[in-house]
Amino acid sequence: MSTDTLSAIDIQPVLKSLGIEPENTGVSTGAQWYEGSGKWIESYSPVDGKLIARVKCAGEFDYEMVVKQAEEAFKVWRSIPAPKRGEIVRQMGDALREKKDALGRLVSYEMGKSLQEGWGEVQEMIDICDFATGLSRQLYGLTMHSERPNHRMYEQWHPLGIVGIISAFNFPVAVWSWNSMIAWACGDVCIWKPSSKTPICAIACQNIIRDVLKKNNVPEGVSNLVIGNAAGDLLNNDKRVPLVSFTGSTRIGRHVSQTVAARFGRTILELGGNNAIIVTPDADLKMVLVGSVFGAVGTAGQRCTSTRRLIVHESIYNKVCEVLKGAYAQLSIGNPLDQHNHVGPLIDTKAVEDYLKAIEKAKAEGGKVLVEGGVLSGEGYESGCYVKPCIIEAENHFEIVQEETFAPILYLLKYSTIEEAIALQNGVPQGLSSSIFTTNMREMELFLSAAGSDCGIANVNIGTSGAEIGGAFGGEKETGGGRESGSDAWKAYMRRQTNTINYGTQLPLAQGIQFNF
């Protein structure tokens, strides 16, 4: 295992620069921090197993205080012109630029992703700030012709109110920003419940934007943080929170959906992915190698867009297998803050257990292991969270292949016709990201047609991961159907209102109805 400079291993200077103390409170309404009344949780790094810091979670009392503060803040925030809200978001982006290195290192250390990915995640936050700033001048509605004379119809969009954001550990900061920056530009206020596996990153984000909030006299309650699992249940059941954006597993997402729907609330659900790449005989294999290996082992397979299945044409199947084996043999596994390493740790030992169980289950169902997995031990792997990326020859109908395992396990499947490949790609409960590698225009267009991929994301000659913030992000089926980030995803954070103005001197009724008074 290679080592990097001291700055990549000694996290204390990073924590200090981000305002992180050995003991922190997990309740904030923006510029102010409040002592949580819940239990203490400890955040340990999967990189070296060391304690990063402790956090006092929010209890029901704290949550109630935060919601009331958010309700009052919304009354003020919604009335501030949208471009001025966008200017405040722009300043948040500048604050993130100043702290990009430190926050990226913390993301890498607390979550376990590579340092380049940690910096990249912060860059996504900066980019979405830029996007939201421009969006603040484009919250447009339509105008329609009325059937009644001297009438004008149009629609406009108003902010919803409080947006609850429940984010996952694998993108501990970016997904929050996808939601919050757009919601703030739209005039909403936000309550963020981050993953209890990565709470320190959330505290750091609130610290970074605190000065921006103070400088612009933003009312307390526009940006709120409540750490702890209890806060998630409270958000889901709270009628004062019209929208809950949840990122996580399909199992928990189903519960969130049912709970929020029961009170007629809205949800944005970003749930499981079981993403596949189709490799055709006309594919550029050099590109396939880069896209599939990064897709399968990047973030140690812990992206919702990670490549889980590689569907390869029978004529090139053996060649692709050999190329992949050679690439996997060259992977360097270790401290993700060392940029010489390709693969970091899983988030915790529970994830390691799930990884091992998935491999055994695949074998029991008839899978053939092409690249052996296993848990690494010894110097540099003291956390017990480092595993070997694994490749298994399998069948799409295997129960384990139908599931999402958050780990670097790649299933290889064989196909004979492009129609069969698309059927295999679609033949899972999830529908997030998909990809085809081909230089055949007919295959490409079929894959992108209504008869092709059933996923929310369909790529050609790039992998399944690495979505840009300019497009709407999300998927279909058990992925939840939600959309975040770019395009017109902003509409989910607002309510539509149709307006009709009569500028004449008569009051004609719709459908020609007559009242003779």
Pairing of strands 368-371, 307-313: unpaired
| Alpha-carbon 452 to chain mean position | 25
60 is catalytic: no
Are 263 and 243 in contact by the 8 Å Cβ rule? The answer is: no
Tokens of 206: 């609130």
Strands (E), 83-198: 143-145, 151-159, 162-166, 189-193
Task: Give me the residue label for tokens 């307006």.
Answer: 499
DSSP string, 350-369: HHHHHHHHHHHHHHHTT-EE
Are 211 and 164 in contact by the 8 Å Cβ rule? The answer is: no
Tokens of 282: 């006309």
190 is catalytic: no
Which of 117, 121, 270, 484 is an active site residue?
270
Strands (E), 219-300: 223-226, 243-247, 266-270, 275-279
Are 407 and 301 in contact by the 8 Å Cβ rule? The answer is: yes
Are 170 and 406 in contact by the 8 Å Cβ rule? The answer is: yes
Distance CA 376, CA 387 (A): 6
Q: Which residues pair with 164 in a beta bridge?
A: 191, 244
Q: Is the dihedral of CA 385, 165, 224, 89 positive or negative?
A: positive
Burial 401-411 (b: 16+ CB within 10 A, else e): bebbbbbbbbb
Residue 120: CA count within 13 A, CB half-sphere: 13
**Burial of residue 326 (number of CB atoms within 10 Å: 0-12, 13-18, 19+):** exposed
Distance CA 456, CA 482 (A): 9
Tokens of 74: 């919304």
Q: Which among 341, 321, 345 has a CA at the least distance from the CA of 332?
A: 341
Which of 129, 201, 304, 385 is an active site residue?
304
Q: Which residues pair with 335 in a beta bridge?
A: none
Distance CA 182, CA 138 (A): 12
Collapsing DSSP to helix, strand or coil, 225 comes out as: strand
Catalytic positions, written as ranges: 270, 304
